[in-house]
Amino acid sequence: MEQSRTQKEFLASFPSSLNTLLLVGFIFHLTFIYSVFDCYFTSPVVHGMKAFNTGVGLSKRVVLISADGLRADLLFEPNGFSKALSPNFTEGIDVVAPHLRSIISTRGAYGVSHTRVPTESRPGHVAIIAGMYEDVSAVTKGWKVNPVEFDSVFNRSRSTWAFGSPDIVPMFTKSSEGRVKEWCYDESEEDFTKDATALDFWVLDHLRQLLRNSSSASSLHQSGVVFFLHLLGLDTTGHSYRPFSVEYMRNVQTVDHIVREVEALFEEYYGHDGETSFIFTADHGMSVIGNHGDGHPDNTRTPYIVWGKGIRGPLQDEGFSSHDGYSQGWNLRSTSNKLLYRRDIDQADLAPFMSTLLGINWPVNSVGVVPIDLLNPSFPDGHPELPSGDWFKAQTKLVNAKVLLEQYRVKHELKRSHKLFYDPFPPLAGNQYLHELNLLEKSILNNASSTVTLEETNQRSAHLIDLALAGLHYLQTYERTIIRAMVTMAYTGWAAWAATWVFIPSHIVPAKHVGTTRKSTHAIQIITVSVILGMSAMFWKERAPWTYYLYMIFPAFFWNRVLAHLTTMVADSSLTRNFNQHKIAAVSKNTLLVGGALSSMVLGYTHRSVWSLGLIFLGVVWPLSQWDTEMFRSLGPKAWWWTATCLSTAVFPLLKVDKEESLGNIITGGVAALVVCGLLLRETLVRAPHESHKKILSLFGLQVSILLFTLLVTRSAVLDLQAKQGLPRWCQVSGWTVLVISAVVTCLPWSPIDNSAPAAKHVLYLRYFLGSTPLFIILSLSDEALFFVSYTFLMGLWVEVESAMRKLGVTNGTEGKSEYSFRADDLRIALFFLFFVQIAFFGTGNVASISSFYLSPVYRLIPVFNPFFMSGLLICKIITPYVILAIATATVTHSLGLPPFSLFLIALCVTDGMTLAFFFNVTDTGSWLEIGQTISFFVITSLLTLWSGGICVLGEWLMRDVLRGKEARGKENRKLKQQ
């Protein structure tokens, strides 16, 4: 009796219940998505730096014009639209932007301004105006309110006059001490179904009104003034109609016209004083499908054109060509027909460039490098402080080094004061750079008598700039090693803890080993507490973010549970005795299976054809190699349906991601849904009692009617939007109405059949399929509805295939057993589940990128810009296939007698290896395509892993009544057998 209580007490200290495991796992995976931002993309903003300036400006005012969402190639090519559009639309248009092109040819400089991810409006404008690259995590903190305070050109100007979008302009008024005056249109004006050029003309009209109403004595005539014109039309047009469209081309023409008008307005208002500098650029580009956000070159390459006071004119492309395959077709030439030099810059370089032109203090957070070869300093002869333009360029280069080294100094001091074991950046250790700065400053001040030439001063300043940028990157990534270590321990610890629940059954410790085991457990607890307290003390001393404590507590808890469980295994020597050569071979085989499957899925993130190959394997190779004659006989025609459906679903990952809107494909998807409905309904009626047929037909007749009306509404909305007539009010109201009615009918607790009936699961499956289809049709651009129908049919067949394998003894369930015992085939089913999770995402045309989601179908429900609700609708579309997968997974789980969530836990044990691999592949260097992709890969695989747990919960909840009915029916059958 005493021995039994001792064993019980020991096991009670071992919290390994399924609910605890799932809850902790959910919180852990949700929390650790943020770890990629703490590791790779922390905020670069610090405070306490001294401000610097060149001491004199080159112009009195700067006009900054930002064409939101403008691609570089479509501006610089004479008519880049002629390749994609019908000659009827481009006939007679030799140059789309003639005024801007003439500026490049006669009086300005141009090139590509390379942006960074995320390629969104907020971080793009922060880079242009503040000279810093806002950390990616700012996306999660809201776009309209600054997550952190940052300095900007606007803050440093004498005054700034800003016109444009309410999403962008107000960002720079905060903490501007009244320097920034803003004019914004209402958010309701950002209507994707209307002509977006009206937004750009609004900016022009209000600028004209300001200049007309201002006297010659107003503050507009002071030095150090900035005018900011934010032209949102191209971004709105690109989202609605895509870049290679007539609408986008006409909007580029509109922007070109507005630039001409703006230049004329300033020349007239300031009496042609020649003291105005103009900067034309864009915050980000636009993908061919009308999206942006990731690091694709179409999104990161934006144009810039600079001209006016203090800016050099065109340079001929001599010696080594400055052009590559991207710009060969631009054919930008001077008046003497010579090819013009293309000067590329980083987007953050524009902020210090504007500060230099105005002679104001540079933004203290700026990491830009002034392109001094774009400057053309000219000063009055005999000026005592300005010997030459070369002197000014040397001074500018030195100020650039001072600004960057001042940031390094402040960040270095912060690290040194907080870190227990701080290792400074070796090239800048000892503050030797301060001596170098003093030497260069004296050389510039005493240029005539100095032994250091201005050319050498520029070179040494450039070297200091490179060192400062490298030092800032070193400090920015200083915490990376410890975060990587904690993340690695966390993911491997979770996988090990989940594996002990799934793969290793609970064991009772023999009585003679209870005391030893208890001592080992106590030692483990002491070590765990010591690690937590020690790490917490270190983080507190270093003033680490609060997330670091979570990154440390989770792995400590996981490995505590794993080690505690291992003590029971070691105490039970029968485990090691039973681990014979046969089991070693089985483990090796399963390891190879998991490794091959995960490697294929990782490859599928960059090569969509892998998903098609996987479906071909499931539909052809697996049945031919694993099914016997009895299996084919048991399935009958469903075996061939399985192969045909796998092959039809395999077509979709092979289709182009860049889809065009196709009403025919949408209607075909609706018709296919009706056909599949007929097939599933026939199967349901065969299994259902005859007396319930009328109720079943009534329910599905109502849902089919809703589906037909959805097709009608969608057709009308598509045609009206394509005709540019706007979204009819009745279409918008009807669209929302059918979605609400469909959801209500689907979720009603009433069922046309008793939940204990064998056909109950078929009724529920068909009910949710018909209830989900209207949403998918309304939000489909082309063939996504066809994919949804094919995927739904495939999931229904998966249930039938697994059930047939169970009946034939291929898959052994656990019904009637006291506890779950892992079997090798459970791993195969879990990998199938994981594969279907991935297919549900990638099959709809998405790629592992945040810019692969089509916005245009959302305009059928929400025509006015509203990021919250638009994103919500896109998420609903992504989730819809998972509703079907949830029901199928729950059905498979219970049909095979597996414990709830067992498939999820097995899948999670293996997929965290894929997640961890993506985490280590994240980079903040290289091309912006690589940076954007690595972030997207980690975030998407983490969300899909997290969502797979939600699938199991959703399936259990949706199938709860049917599963209860099945359990009740099973109890009755067992009673009858006993009688």
Tens of pLDDT, residues 30-75: 888 888 878 877 778 888 899 999 988 999 999 999 999 999 999 9
pLDDT confidence band for 867 (50 / 70 / 90) = confident
CA distances from 184 to 104, 188, 909 (A): 30, 12, 51
Per the confidence metrics, is the pTM higher than 0.85? no
- Residue 6 reports pLDDT greater than 60: no
- Residue 972 reports pLDDT greater than 60: no
For residues 656-673, give the mean pLDDT: 90
163, β-bridge pairs: 183, 229
Q: 353, 430, 432: which is closest to 399 by C-alpha?
A: 353
| Percent of the chain residues past pLDDT 70, beyond the cut | 85
Q: Provide the H-helix boundaries in 605-753.
A: 609-616, 622-626, 629-635, 637-650, 663-687, 693-722, 729-747
- Residue 509 reports pLDDT greater than 80: no
Model confidence pLDDT, tens digit, residues 155-187: 999 999 999 999 889 888 776 677 899 999 988
For residues 544 and 418, give the distance between their C-alpha atoms in angstroms, rounded to a whole number: 9
Model confidence pLDDT, tens digit, residues 930-947: 676 777 788 888 877 777
Element of type H or E holding 67:
strand 61-67
Which residue did the predictor score with more confidence, 728 or 204?
204
pLDDT confidence band for 430 (50 / 70 / 90) = confident
Tokens 């709105």 correspond to 236
Element of type H or E holding 494:
helix 480-502
pLDDT confidence band for 363 (50 / 70 / 90) = very high
Strands (E) across 146-291 are located at: 159-164, 180-184, 225-231, 276-281
Model confidence pLDDT, tens digit, residues 187-198: 888 877 788 999
Which residue did the predictor score with more confidence, 769 or 572?
769
For residues 715-724, give the mean pLDDT: 88
pLDDT confidence band for 273 (50 / 70 / 90) = very high
Please report, as a single letter, which amino acid is at residue 58: L
pLDDT confidence band for 91 (50 / 70 / 90) = confident
- Residue 481 reports pLDDT greater than 50: yes
Range name among 63-72, 627-636, 763-772, 932-941 with the lowest pLDDT average:
932-941
pLDDT confidence band for 907 (50 / 70 / 90) = confident
pLDDT confidence band for 733 (50 / 70 / 90) = very high
- Give the number of other Cβ atoms within 10 Å of residue 450's Cβ: 16
Residues 6+ apart with CB under 8 A from 156: 51, 355, 360, 361, 362, 363
Based on DSSP, count helices (H) and strands (E) in the chain, helices before strands.
Answer: 35, 8
For residues 701 and 693, give the distance between their C-alpha atoms in angstroms, rounded to a whole number: 12
State the DSSP code for 757. S
For residues 363 and 304, give the distance between their C-alpha atoms in angstroms, rounded to a whole number: 20
pLDDT confidence band for 16 (50 / 70 / 90) = very low
Element of type H or E holding 199:
helix 197-213
- Residue 819 reports pLDDT greater than 70: no
Burial 547-571 (b: 16+ CB within 10 A, else e): ebebbbbbbbbbbbbbbbbebbeeb
Q: 260, 265, 191: which is closest to 232 by C-alpha?
A: 191
Q: Quick one: pLDDT at residue 13? A: 38
Please report, as a single letter, which amino acid is at residue 278: F
Q: Quick one: pLDDT at residue 582? A: 54
pLDDT confidence band for 878 (50 / 70 / 90) = confident
Number of residues assigned to the chain:
979
For residues 852 and 657, give the distance between their C-alpha atoms in angstroms, rounded to a whole number: 8
Q: Quick one: pLDDT at residue 249? A: 95
Please report, as a single letter, which amino acid is at residue 714: T
228, β-bridge pairs: 64, 162
**Contact at 8 Å (CB) between 755 and 964?**
yes
| Percent of the chain residues past pLDDT 90, beyond the cut | 42
Range name among 235-244, 365-374, 488-497, 584-593 with the lowest pLDDT average:
584-593
For residues 395-423, give the mean pLDDT: 93
Q: In what order do the strands lie in the sheet with 301-308?
A: 180-184, 159-164, 225-231, 61-67, 276-281, 301-308, 108-114, 345-346
Burial environment of residue 89 by CB neighbours within 10 A (0 to 12, 13 to 18, 19 or more)? middle
pLDDT confidence band for 580 (50 / 70 / 90) = low
**Contact at 8 Å (CB) between 962 and 762?**
no
For residues 681-709, give the mean pLDDT: 88
For residues 180 and 159, give the distance between their C-alpha atoms in angstroms, rounded to a whole number: 6
Element of type H or E holding 472:
helix 454-476
Q: Quick one: pLDDT at residue 256? A: 97
For residues 279 and 270, give the distance between their C-alpha atoms in angstroms, rounded to a whole number: 18
Residues 6+ apart with CB under 8 A from 771: 703, 742, 743, 745, 746, 747
For residues 603-608, give the mean pLDDT: 86
Which residue did the predictor score with more confidence, 318 or 78?
78
For residues 123-141, give the mean pLDDT: 77
Please report, as a single letter, which amino acid is at residue 228: F
Range name among 83-87, 600-604, 968-972 with the lowest pLDDT average:
968-972
pLDDT confidence band for 587 (50 / 70 / 90) = low
**Contact at 8 Å (CB) between 863 and 732?**
yes
Q: Quick one: pLDDT at residue 420? A: 87
Q: Quick one: pLDDT at residue 120? A: 86
Q: Quick one: pLDDT at residue 507? A: 47
For residues 787 and 794, give the distance between their C-alpha atoms in angstroms, rounded to a whole number: 10
Q: 174, 120, 182, 183: which is closest to 151 by C-alpha?
A: 174
Phi/psi at 839 (5° precision): -65, -35
Long-range (24+ apart) CB contacts under 8 A made by 268-276 are: 269/211, 269/214, 269/220, 270/61, 270/221, 273/60, 274/309, 275/59, 275/60, 275/61, 275/309, 276/59, 276/60, 276/61, 276/62, 276/63, 276/308, 276/309
- Give the number of other Cβ atoms within 10 Å of residue 633's Cβ: 11
Parallel, antiparallel, or unpaired for β 108-114 and 345-346?
A: parallel
What mean pLDDT is reported for the chain? 84
**Contact at 8 Å (CB) between 248 and 242?**
yes
Tokens found for residue 961: 């009544």
Tokens found for residue 271: 């009496």
Model confidence pLDDT, tens digit, residues 220-252: 999 999 999 999 999 999 998 899 999 999 999
Residues 6+ apart with CB under 8 A from 662: 781, 782, 783
- 3-state secondary structure string across 890-925: HHHHHHCCCCCCHHHHHHHHHHHHHHHHHHHHCCCC
